[in-house]
Amino acid sequence: MSVKLQQIDECRWRIPREGAMRTDGLIFASRDMIGALEKEQALDQVRNVATLPGIVGPSIAMPDIHWGYGFPIGGVAAFDMDEGVVSPGGVGYDINCGVRLLRTELEVQEVRPRIERLANELYHNVPSGVGSHRKDLKLSVAEERKVLTDGAGWAVAHGFGREEDLDHIEEQGALRGADPLVVSERALERGRNQLGTLGSGNHFLEIDVVEEIHNPQAAQVLGLFPGQITVSIHTGSRGFGYQVCDDHLKMMLRAAGKYGIDLPDKQLCCAPLGSPEGKQYLSAMACAANFAFANRQLITSWVRESFEQVLGRAQSELRMSLIYDVCHNIAKIEEHAFGGRKRKLCVHRKGATRAYPPGHADTPALYRSVGQPVLIPGDMGRYSYVLVGTQGAFDETFGSSCHGAGRVLSRHAAKKLVRGQNVEAQLESQGIVIRAASRATVAEEIPEAYKDVTEVVGVVERAGIGKIVARLKPLAVIKG
């Protein structure tokens, strides 16, 4: 059945409720983006999510939407705590894949002559690639379980960072409700040697320069200025989170049958939020989310050390402070106003970012005058953006925005497109240094594999679900 689309305005499109759908679909996209989307299955996935029990409000897709497992990537859906469900497909395999942004007091002219040395040092200090692990970080089973409950706080307590870092991480770097006892031995085994590693695929560590300020007031609050050096870290829960997802997909498929949930796609397998299966998944998911928070915190510590070593300046002088750290793949219990009353909902964000407004209690105090920082990485050859959340996002999308540019080419298609080309040399001719564990990864992650992030964040801003603060340009990129 083809997807029916109705244009609401220049940035919004509706999939009207029909058949088994319990609500409408709502897509944020430009006309050009919709034209490309109509040729793929992501819109079918928006419609399928709208059939799940207890969904509140529309099944939402952000402008970086593309096909994913069960839910589309870029999908947002909220569920009633009494009648709704939780679905691993609405979180994804890489639980709490997320991004954090560090600011420095360094200016581009100080760093550019040392950019290759910095890239080499970061590549040496932060393990990357498939199956990467740190030989000098050995966790006992008991210590790993502490990571799963304490998240970034575990890393700070062990000397990897500062207490103030925790104030600038979503949920202060630890999701409540984590229970290591519901995690499989296989997941623990896979995660034990991967803490503090970047991984592969679209994960990266990037040195950027603030190229353009769009909102001077917000930029000042966030501590951003033109020509400034920043560092982005994009990674998640590695093999640990993958295994948690895989373990619970099997359980959720059985649960869907047990509770009589009719699935249009088995990848949407789910369980009622109040069921034993639903509660167990949320506890295991929180463990994986906390693993990811700790992972990014350790990498942050090694980034600070790398800058200190190459620039010969103390970390206190470099003032490498954390702007913010956001989750991309998560399901969280939050309070939102809907239907004229406040209610607790389970908000799934699959390849989507929380975007809370100015004044909200969960927006860090330092940023409460302008809104929660929203970090939108692009591709390794163009730009990334810093935005802030808005009241419009809180009212319309359960406080959510996009999480990146969104793929337009599969990994296979990307590699085929650049066969015989030297992608690294092309990027270095543009002043972008690349270090990667595999040339195949670089080929899969070419800029042409992604939408232009400038167009994506343009839709976000015009729709009022985010406000652009600054544009960043890559100088050095570390890939898995």
Whether the Cβ atoms of residue 228 and residue 257 lie closer than 8 Å to each other = no
pLDDT, position 1 = 56
CA 74 – CA 38 distance, rounded (Å): 16
Residue 128 has a pLDDT of 72
Indicate the angle between helix axes 141-150 and 276-311, nearest 10 degrees: 100
Please report the pLDDT score of residue 217 as a whole number: 98
Q: What is the pLDDT of residue 315?
A: 83
Residue 412 among the catalytic residues:
no
**What CA–CA distance (Å, rounded) separates 99 from 352?**
11
Numbers of helices and strands, H then E, in the chain: 17, 19
In 339-424 the beta strands, taken as DSSP E runs, fall at 341-350, 352-354, 373-376, 384-388, 400-402
CA distance 348 to 217: 31
In a structure prediction context, what are the per-residue pLDDT tens digits for the chain, which is 480 residues long? 578 899 999 999 999 999 999 999 999 999 999 988 887 899 999 999 999 999 999 999 999 999 999 999 999 999 999 999 999 999 999 999 999 999 999 999 999 999 999 999 999 999 775 655 555 677 889 999 999 999 999 999 999 999 999 999 999 999 999 999 999 999 999 999 899 999 888 899 999 999 999 999 999 999 999 999 999 999 999 999 999 999 999 999 999 999 999 999 999 999 999 999 999 999 999 999 999 999 999 999 999 999 999 999 988 888 899 999 999 999 999 999 988 889 999 999 999 999 999 999 999 999 999 999 999 999 888 999 999 999 999 999 999 999 999 888 888 898 889 887 888 888 888 889 999 877 888 888 888 888 899 999 999 999 999 999 999 999 999 987
Catalytic residue among 214, 360, 403, 412: 403
The whole-number pLDDT of residue 426 equals 87
Tokens of 124: 């040496």
Count Cα neighbours of 363 within 13 Å in the Cβ-side half-sphere: 22
Give residue for tokens 């679209």: 202
Gap between the Cα atoms of 384 and 402, Å rounded: 12
By the 10 Å C-beta count (0-12 exposed, 13-18 middle, 19+ buried), 205 is classed as buried
Q: Give the per-residue pLDDT at 102.
A: 98
The reported pLDDT for the residue numbered 138 is 79
